[in-house]
Amino acid sequence: MQSKKVVIITGSGRGIGAETAKLFATNGYRVCINYRSNDISAEALKEEILEGGSPCISVKADVSIGSDVTRLFEVVELELGRITALVNNAGILKTQCRLDEMSEERFSEILRVNIMSCFLCSKEAVKRMSTKHGGLGGVIVNVSSGASKSGSPSEYIDYAASKGAIDTLTRGLALEVAAEGIRVNAVRPGLIYTEMHASGGENNRVDRLKTRIPMQRGGQPKEVAEAILWLASEKSSFVTGSFIDPAGGL
């Protein structure tokens, strides 16, 4: 594999994605920050990484749309070089409610954004990384969720279902490309202090539920980022089709 390490981190303008971008940058990666709408947050993160001496670009793209994904990868290859790692972190959730209160439009949007983004970006990465296509290999790390196991009843069944699909995609793709120089793994974070909980209508959700966690506390985005970095590094060179659960024992 080439010595120059290049990573695309989708949905990395905030939260786990932003912490992952900073951690990869300090570990020798050229970083592409991908985001959908928040220009201010993405540009601030890019400037922070550049000031630290690491090459970094930001690319605004909706990764649930195929043409945007193709453009994203083309820009990265032109400005940073051949991609060696992809972190599929982009995802959304909606306000807490029961399944019988969810609209068809909501359920469809959650699946489209959360699953299609992972599928489209993984497809583009495989086309560039796979030795079958003349690539030099690489790593894909998907950001799933502990919700894929709990089901998130009365809160986010749609979100949980989308993350369950990502778990299955992770396992299937890992086996499909294992002999082509690509490793595919996932992290399934539990209750982590991120801005995403505000999208569900409950800013203090982690504090409300932390007594259910065996470690009796919520997690920090950097603790998830560390697991992602390990899966992307050569330290996990014999690991594929596997999951790490940064969830405090849940």
Burial class (CB in 10 A: 0-12, 13-18, 19+), 176: middle
Tell me the backbone φ, ψ of residue 26, rounded to 5 degrees: -75, -5
Closest CA to 31 of 50, 58, 65, 56: 56
Helix ranges restricted to H, 1-156: 15-25, 39-51, 66-79, 104-111, 117-129, 147-150
- Take residue 145 and report the two structure tokens written for it: 């969720």
Q: What would the 3-class secondary structure string for 190-228 be?
A: CCECCCHHHHCCCCCHHHHHHHHCCCCCCECHHHHHHHH
- Judge whether 159 counts as a catalytic residue: yes
- Take residue 24 and report the two structure tokens written for it: 């990869």
Catalytic residue among 29, 35, 156, 159: 159
Q: What is the Cα–Cα distance from 233 to 87, expressed in whole angstroms?
A: 12
Closest CA to 18 of 28, 6, 38, 139: 38
Q: What is the Cα–Cα distance from 59 to 42, expressed in whole angstroms?
A: 9
Active site members: 159
